Amino acid sequence: MNTFGRILRLTTFGESHGPAIGGVLDGFPAGLDLDLQQVQQALDHRNPSQAVIGSGRQETDQVEFLSGIRQGKSLGSPIAFLIRNRDARSEDYAVLEHAFRPGHADDTWQAKYGIRDYRGGGRASARETAVRVAGGALARQLLAGIGLRIYAYASRIGEICLEKPFDQLDKHRIYEYPSRCPDAVADKAMLECLQRIRQEGDSIGGVVECRVTGMPKGLGEPVYDKLTARLASAMMSINAARGFEIGRGFEAARMKGSEHNDLWNTDGTTCRNLCGGVRGGISTGEDLVFRVAFKPIPTIAREQALLVESETLSGKAEGMTIEKASLPGRHDVCCVPRAVSVVEAMTALVLADMYLLNSCSRGDWPED
């Protein structure tokens, strides 16, 4: 599956070290004024070269639109775009042609297809997420028209947690903080943590929290396309994602019903929004609140054990050996700062699709 969505569908293509990556966004409504600079800005936010703790790969990520837009307006036809790869160093990965890295998808892709692009992880690389960010930036502009705003940010890196509540965060300047945590104290602590981990030749995981304001009531497609289910599917499709929770999430497993049941306000909202803005798989109209956990990046500077194919005299692989080596390539010490913009993009794609689907749900046909 290289396509995500029901009505608004994003198809992505390309590998990490191929000539380009790109996408086709189909089902986008016609006649919307689009700011393509906002798309480029979103790509700049994801770009690892923008973060002092990021990868050394210097991609400009300049997006080229090929169809679906004319004179700044959407045409209703598929919006196709390219992002060319300009700083791939494929020679760095030659050692991996016959070796499988720990924690990566090398062996599983080989098992599924019988062939793989080992250069930078090929299609399994997080390089593909740049396409999602471009598509999500277009979806966000559709949602802005109904007053919906998406704020994703780093809430945890390693043992460093953001303690401040959302209403005290500098949420309109998230991308001015290198860690993508919009609080000066937490940002400083996270950067110190990341710099220490890099010096140790290691990597570390973290959590991205997302809050969506201006949510309409009634988004979601029961029974199998609940808003929670679609969000979970979208977030768990992101590279290195290992967990998803909405509202109180796993904490709810330790609570009593009398504790988790939220009290009503007279305007139909709840006192604490413990459900995270979704009940019965349908949005409540309150803020959507969820978190995504990311594992440490498996490629580290420390020496690790590789699973290596043993070749016979005929050149055919026969058996495996374990060899220790330092892994090649340029890699982030933590994926969370870049994952923030990807979480934001996938949230926009889900909600825009749900919004378009919802327009078909009520059957409010004009009378004769």
pLDDT digits (tens, 9 = 90+) for 110-152: 889 988 888 777 788 889 999 999 999 999 999 999 999 999 9
Is 0.85 surpassed by the pTM of this model?
yes
The pLDDT tens digits of the residues spanning 252-265 come to 999 999 999 999 99
Q: What is the DSSP letter of 253?
A: G
Q: Is the pLDDT of residue 90 over 70?
A: no
In the predicted structure, residue 313 carries a pLDDT above the cut 50: no
| pLDDT at residue 106 in the model | 87
Dihedral over Cα of 337, 330, 105, 21: its sign: positive
Superfamily of domain 3-302+328-358: Chorismate synthase AroC (3.60.150.10)
In 3-state terms, what secondary structure has residue 284?
strand
Contact of 190 with 204, CB cutoff 8 Å? no
Q: Residue 141: which of 67, 251, 34, 54 has the closest Cα?
A: 34
pLDDT higher than threshold 50 for residue 312: no
How far is the C-alpha of 240 from the C-alpha of 190, rounded, in Å?
19
Greater model confidence, 310 or 320 = 320
Tell me the percentage of the chain whose pLDDT exceeds 70: 89
Across 43-58, average pLDDT: 69
pLDDT exceeds cutoff 50 at 157:
yes
* Helices and strands, number each (H, E), in the chain: 7, 17
Q: Tell whether the model's pLDDT for residue 306 goes beyond 60.
A: yes
Strand partners, 210: 152, 290
pLDDT in tens, 314-351: 445 557 788 887 766 667 899 999 999 999 999 999 99
Peptide bond into 223 cis (omega under 30): yes
Higher pLDDT pick, 208 / 309:
208
Fill in the amino acid letter for 288: L
Looking at residues 354-368, what average pLDDT do you find? 75
Cβ atoms < 10 Å from Cβ of 267: 6
Instruction: Please determine, for residue 49, whether its predicted confidence score (pLDDT) is greater than 80.
Output: no
Q: Determine the Cα–Cα distance for residues 214 and 144; give it in Å rounded to an integer.
A: 9
Q: Express each pLDDT in 237-257 by its tens digit.
A: 999 999 999 999 999 999 999
CB atoms within 10 A of CB 211: 21
Q: Which two tokens stand for residue 141?
A: 């502009």
Taking only the tens place, the pLDDT of each residue in 189-228 is 999 999 999 999 999 999 999 999 999 999 999 899 999 9
**Distance between CA atoms of residues 264 and 34, nearest Å:** 39
In the chain, what is the straight-line distance between the N-terminal and C-terminal CA atoms, in Å? 43
Cα–Cα nearest to 79, from 89, 93, 88, 69: 69
What is the rounded radius of gyration, in angstroms, for the C-alpha atoms of the chain? 22
